[in-house]
């Protein structure tokens, strides 16, 4: 799709439903080709710089392998091993890397850093995660739901837990695809009001529905997808004990599944703290699609790379 070429991938709200559907279909095709052993050298000769100021397993491996499978090259750039750590302005880094690379992926804490990088770079910038958003994860999740349910419009998804970056991107994704999403979080950990407002504006155009509550049972009732995430994300380690107390009653367990729709799938973006936000029994149960989600990060991100670079 020509409208995607050269674009930044920072937030799902920046893309039309048609563009996001195109990425899902591209990911599905790339996944099929990979399973059949078909080469897809769409990015032969292209290079992707990957800036990390946050630790990573899935993001680093999936982007690095994805570029390799597309015929390109991915360069890992740890903040500790670059001049970023010594205080080089991100604007300078962006302008230098634009002379060397075809694209930049960044996984960091401050969302503003991604915006600043994109503003100064002459090449596409991909948001691999910030404290505000996790768009690659949410779109890979949509691919997983689409595979398991055969549709997205009208599917009811319940997100139980911290109103964090994953919740924010899921709100945008669900709104774009006309889904019904309910986020259940303790009152002090609800999603950002601005994100909820924007998601509701999008949902009004797609016949989607956005509900925010502090009642996990209400969220899970008749839900076809139950989603959770860790209660304390990277950078929140000092809040861990406080958060564990606040999130008691928000665990995804067999009791919660009893009110969900028959055949509801269980999702988690990983890493998981089994026994906290989700029980071992549910995490490893037949309804869990957690590792299908993880695999789909690879295929979805390949679709993004192939479409924008």
Strand partners for 77: 51
d(C-alpha 83, C-alpha 282), whole Å:
44
Instruction: Show Cβ contacts of residue 168 under 8 Å, excluding neighbours closer than 6 positions.
Output: 132, 133, 134, 191, 192, 195
How far is 250 from 256, CA to CA, in rounded Å? 9
Type and span of the H or E element at 68: helix 58-69
107 included as an active-site residue: yes
Rounded Cα distance, 99 and 70, in Å: 22
Contacts of 271 by beta carbon, 8 Å cutoff, 6+ apart? 57, 230
Catalytic one among 69, 137, 251, 293? 137
Q: Which of 58, 297, 299, 301 is catalytic?
A: 297
Q: Catalytic annotation on 134? A: yes
- Distance between CA 225 and CA 239 in Å, rounded? 28
Q: How far is CA 167 from the centre of its chain?
A: 9
269 is catalytic: yes
Catalytic residue among 8, 141, 162, 229: 229
Buried b (16+ CB within 10 A) or exposed e, 110-121: ebebbbbbbebb
Q: Which of 7, 58, 60, 107 is catalytic?
A: 107
Which of these is catalytic: 269, 293, 299, 301?
A: 269
Which residues carry out catalysis? 107, 134, 137, 229, 269, 297
């Amino acid at each position: 799709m020509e409208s995607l070429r050269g674009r930044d991938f920072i937030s799902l709200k920046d893309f039309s439903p048609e563009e996001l559907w195109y990425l899902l279909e591209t990911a599905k095709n790339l996944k099929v080709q990979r399973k059949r052993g078909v080469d897809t050298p769409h990015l032969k000769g292209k290079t992707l710089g990957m800036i990390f100021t946050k630790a990573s397993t899935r993001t680093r491996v999936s982007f690095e392998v994805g570029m390799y499978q597309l015929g390109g090259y991915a360069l890992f750039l740890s903040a500790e091993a670059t001049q970023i750590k010594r205080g080089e302005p991100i604007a300078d880094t962006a302008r230098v890397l634009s002379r060397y690379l075809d694209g930049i992926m960044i996984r960091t804490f401050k969302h503003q850093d991604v915006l600043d990088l994109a503003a100064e770079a002459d090449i596409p910038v991909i948001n691999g995660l910030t404290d505000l958003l996790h768009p690659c994860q949410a779109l890979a999740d949509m691919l997983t739901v689409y595979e398991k349910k055969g549709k997205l419009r009208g599917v009811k998804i319940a997100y139980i837990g911290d109103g964090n970056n994953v919740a924010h991107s899921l709100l945008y994704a669900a709104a774009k695809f006309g889904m019904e999403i309910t986020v259940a979080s303790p009152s002090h950990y609800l999603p950002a009001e601005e994100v909820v407002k924007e998601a509701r504006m999008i949902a009004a155009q797609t016949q989607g529905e956005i509900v925010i509550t502090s009642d996990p049972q209400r969220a899970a009732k008749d839900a076809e997808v139950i989603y959770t995430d860790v209660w304390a994300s990277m950078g929140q380690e000092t809040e861990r004990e406080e958060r564990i107390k606040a999130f008691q009653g928000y665990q995804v367990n067999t009791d919660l599944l009893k009110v969900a729709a028959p055949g509801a799938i269980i999702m988690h973006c990983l890493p998981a703290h089994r026994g906290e936000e989700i029980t071992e029994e549910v995490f490893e149960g037949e309804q869990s699609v957690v590792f299908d989600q993880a695999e789909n990060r690879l295929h979805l991100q390949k679709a993004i790379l192939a479409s924008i670079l």
